[in-house]
Chains A and B, each alone.
Chain A
């Protein structure tokens, strides 16, 4: 199975700062990499699909990049509502797998 490793586990930042989250795959997933945001008590929300495409209604401050095994989610300027846990997921192969998550917390 394809293992996704996210780093860092926790990112402590202030509103207005730039957040850079990493996701590394154990083998190439091409561009079949997705990003989700999850807030406490809520279901995950799709942010980015195919590594770099924003899902419907996602603000432009969220961007994704990468291909193969190394991917990045960037939040250009953190808004108060962006403090949450972020997961990457690959859809290149069965079983579908998720990374362990990065928590973006207020510094």
Chain B
């Protein structure tokens, strides 16, 4: 079965960077697009960006274009999301997701467990 297992919680200071990983299993990693979605405390869901796990091609939400980088390592079926220049507004749970179909905008059928990133001085 499809599993997405994310790295553990992080505490960072303002101005620092964080890199979250998402280990995929149970399917052909390069056959699907992967996305990152975040959720600030007691807030809604916010789409951050996506990557073609085969080619590495990326698309980002404009809000994150300058500070977020999504990458993958196909040899270990792992997705990464790095955020630089963190502020307190980046405190959130970050989710990796896999699409249901093979299109880049296909719905998010599989989700990681979430990684809490706390930004605090």
Q: Which residues of A contact B (CB under 8 A)?
A: 32, 34, 36, 38, 43-46, 49, 55-56, 87, 89, 91-92, 94-101
Report B45 CB to chain A, min CB distance, Å: 4
B95 to A, closest residue via Cβ: A43
Q: Is the CB of A55 within 8 A of B109?
A: yes
- B: interface residue count bin: 10 to 19
8 Å CB contact of B45 from A32, A44, A45, A56: A44
The 9 A-B residue pairs whose C-beta atoms are closest, nearest first, are A43-B111, A91-B105, A96-B47, A95-B61, A98-B45, A49-B107, A34-B107, A100-B44, A46-B109
Q: Is the CB of B44 within 8 A of A87?
A: yes
Interface residues in B70-118 (C-beta closer than 8 Å to A): 95, 100, 105-109, 111-114
State whether the Cβ of B57 lies closer than 8 Å to any Cβ in chain A: no
Known: A34-B107, A43-B111. A55 touches B100 (CB 8 A): yes
Bound CA span A97–B114, Å: 19
Report A85 CB to chain B, min CB distance, Å: 9
A interface secondary structure, majority: loop
Q: Which residues of A contact B100 (CB under 8 A)?
A: 46, 49, 55
Q: Is the CB of B47 within 8 A of A98?
A: yes
Bound CA span A16–B109, Å: 27
A90 to B, closest residue via Cβ: B105
Q: Is the CB of B44 within 8 A of A101?
A: yes
